[in-house]
Amino acid sequence: MVMQQMTKQDYYKVLGVERNATERDIKMAFKKLARQYHPDVAENKEEAEVKFREINEAYAVLSDEEKRQLYDQFGHQGVQGSGGGYGGGYGGFSGGFGGFESIFESLFDMSGMGRASGQTRSRARRGSDLRKDVEIELEDAFRGKEEDFTVESYQTCPVCNGRRVKPGAGFKECKPCQGSGMMRNVQNTVFGQFVTSSTCGHCHGEGRIPEEVCDECRGEARTIRKERISVKIPAGIDNGMPIRLTGKGEAGEFGGQAGDLYLFVHVKEHQHLKREGKNLILELPIGFADAALGTEKEIVTFDGTEKIKIHEGTQTDAVLTLHGKGMPDLRGGKPGDLLVRLKVVTPTKLNEKQRKLLCQFAEEGPQFHCGKKGFFGKLVDALTGKN
C-alpha cells in the first residue's frame, strides 16, 4: 500500500459531520457520500475518484473508535499507517455499484497500529454490492410486477463450489505459520513499541493451503458468470425505491459472504395520472355547460371504471375524492385516494348560433354582459388607463 503525500483535509469536514458526531451519523454521512461519489455512477469520474478515496479514508478512521481517538488527539499524524493509504480496488465488474462496504473492509487488511495483537484476519472478503436499474409503468407499480433480468457478476465457482481446490484434492497445513494463520512482528513507532500479529502472507490467514488449486477459478472460489434473476416488485412501489436482494450481489472472495443486489425501480410518468405519495391525481376537463348544469361522467381507472357526479355550479379546480382508489400501500395498509381535479374548459371556437345563445344567456343575468361593458369592464379600463 502506497502512502499518499498530499495535504490532507480534516476528516470530519470530508464527511460533513460535527466533531461530536455519533457512530451512526458518521456511517450515514459516509454511505450518502459514497453513493454520490462512487466513480461508477458519478459524472466526472476523475474528480469522483479522488473524492471517493478521501471519503473512504476519512470513514476508515472515524468509524473506528481507537483510530478516531488518535486522530482527535494527534491529527493525521496519529493515524498514519492505518487509514492513510487506500489500496482497495472497487468492484471488478463494469456497470456495477462496486462494494462501498467491502472497500473499507479492505482498508484494514494491513497490519500495524490500531489493530489489537492476536486478532486474526483471513483473506475472505465479502462480495461487492451490485446495482441494477429497472423502469416500469405506473400501472405495474399499481399492480406489482414480476421482473426478470440478467446480472453478470462474480458467482461461486461451479467447479469447486467455492472450495478453491481441484475436485478430489484437499488442503495441507501452511508451513510458514505452522497452521496458525498469523505471524508475530515487532514494530517501532512514534508511540512506542508495538508487538502485533499480522496475517500470514502465505496462506492469507487460513493456516492451510490447497493441495491443488481449482483450474476454473484459479483458487479464488468465484468466476464471472451470468445469472438470471426474477424479482417480484411489490404493488405500491414508488419511484427510486431500491429493493434489496440479499446475497444476490457478487460472490465473496475466498469464501467471504456474498454481497447484495440493489434493484432501483424507476416508475415512468403516466399520460393522465400524476402520483403524489399514495394518491393519484387525474385532471379531468369538463365543458362549461356541464360545470354549470351538473352531470355524471365515467372515468377509467387501473381498477375498471368509476362513475363520478359533477354537481351543478362546479368551479374549475374543484376536486372529487374517490377514497381507496389510489395506489396500494406498500406494507399492506390503506390504499391512497384518487383525486379528480375538474378543469372547466371555456369554448374557443363558437359558431354564430352558439354566440347568439351565449349572448342571450348573458343578458339574463346582471353579473354577465355581452359585448357591452358592465361595471367590472369599466373598472378594468379605468385602472389600465383606457377610456
Residues that bind Zn ion (CB under 5 A): 157, 159-160, 174, 177, 200, 202-203, 214, 216-217
Instruction: Residue 347: count other Cβ atoms within 10 Å of its Cβ.
Output: 10
CB of 225 to Zn ion, least distance (A): 12
CB of 130 to Zn ion, least distance (A): 21
Q: Considering the complex, state which of residue 200 and residue 320 has its C-beta at the smaller distance from Zn ion.
A: 200
CB of 125 to Zn ion, least distance (A): 16
Q: Considering the complex, state which of residue 123 and residue 131 has its C-beta at the smaller distance from Zn ion.
A: 123
Closest CA to 102 of 142, 70, 56: 56
CB-based contacts of 201: which residues, under 8 Å, 6+ apart?
176, 183
- Pairwise CA distance, residues 83 & 26, whole Å: 15
Q: Considering the complex, state which of residue 167 and residue 324 has its C-beta at the smaller distance from Zn ion.
A: 167
- Pairwise CA distance, residues 1 & 37, whole Å: 22
Instruction: Residue 24: count other Cβ atoms within 10 Å of its Cβ.
Output: 8
Closest CA to 117 of 197, 205, 204: 197
Q: Considering the complex, state which of residue 165 and residue 281 has its C-beta at the smaller distance from Zn ion.
A: 165
| Phi, psi for 216 (deg, rounded to 5) | -65, -50
Q: Which three cell numbers stand for residue 99?
A: 462494494
Q: Considering the complex, state which of residue 29 and residue 214 has its C-beta at the smaller distance from Zn ion.
A: 214
CB of 177 to Zn ion, least distance (A): 3
Per the DSSP assignment, residues forming a β-bridge with 233 are: 145
Q: Considering the complex, state which of residue 85 and residue 179 has its C-beta at the smaller distance from Zn ion.
A: 179
Q: Considering the complex, state which of residue 122 and residue 301 has its C-beta at the smaller distance from Zn ion.
A: 122
Q: Are 61 and 11 in contact (CB under 8 A)?
A: yes
CB of 171 to Zn ion, least distance (A): 12
- The 3-state secondary structure of 214-263 reads CCCCCCCCEEEEEEEEEEEECCCCCCCEEEEECCCCCCCECCCCCCCEEE
Q: Are 53 and 46 in contact (CB under 8 A)?
A: no
CB of 159 to Zn ion, least distance (A): 5
Give the containing element (helix H, strand E) for 25: helix 23-37
Q: Considering the complex, state which of residue 211 and residue 381 has its C-beta at the smaller distance from Zn ion.
A: 211
CB of 239 to Zn ion, least distance (A): 41
* Alpha carbon 69 to its chain's center: 32
CB of 227 to Zn ion, least distance (A): 16
